Amino acid sequence: MKVTLSFDNGPTAAVTSHVLDTLAQHRAKATFFLVAENLTNPANRAVAERAAEEGHWIGNHTLTHSTQLGDSDDPHLAEREIGQAQRLIGDLASRDLLFRPYGRGGVLDRRLLSRPSLTYLQQHAYTCVLWNCVPRDWEQPDTWVDRCLADLTTRDWSLVVLHDLPTGAMRHLPRFLDSLTELGADLVQDFPPDCVPIRQGHLHRPIGHLLAR
């Protein structure tokens, strides 16, 4: 059983620092998909710099996390939400330009991407990273661990979405990682191919079901 860890919607200095401490203790690497406007806070940027220095990958999770790309006909939305975000991330970015779209509630549907945003991702050689395990830690911060562990047993390779936000959920990250060790899970940093429909701007999976009509 392979498990890839990702953390969305940060950085938030205190919580992300705790996450980094916990990952270091377990010798685990993850990807942090940042809401880039958070980086305008110097403390948040400092902890994102620490994450990159410690070998975690840094990805783009939009500038504001406020509008699903497939919900808007604005032809300039992709440049604002993806392009401006990437400029704020700057040299923190991983070697591949990683982008994770905002999927409200973790739902993979036609609200995820618009055709202009798809064109933008292709023209700028982004790798689009989705997910297949959403334990809803933001919604149920004290009960997500057991639900996530049960879900992991249903597939060979899971890409887990957690959130380094001040909900209290990350207090349980040490128990989660200890449980993965007990299960003999192989923690990897790469992504399951099924979760990467676009790699360096090239389509690798059908995405019609993710595109606004």
Whole-number mean pLDDT of the chain? Answer: 97
pLDDT at 130 over 90: yes
163 as an active site residue: the answer is yes
Give residue 119's Cα distance to chain centre: 21
| Stated pTM of the model | 0.97
User: According to the model, what pLDDT value does residue 89 have?
Assistant: 98
pLDDT at 176 over 90: yes
Q: Of the residues 8, 56, 61, 65, which is catalytic?
A: 8
The CA distances from residue 84 to 57, 61, 87, 122, 207, in Å, are: 19, 11, 5, 16, 24
From its phi and psi, is residue 136 left (phi > 0), alpha (psi between -120 and 50) or beta? left
pLDDT single digits (tens) 104-116: 889 999 999 999 9
Per-residue pLDDT band for 56 (boundaries 50, 70, 90) equals very high
Q: Of the residues 56, 61, 65, 163, which is catalytic?
A: 163
pLDDT at 213 over 90: no
pLDDT at 97 over 90: yes
26 as an active site residue: the answer is no
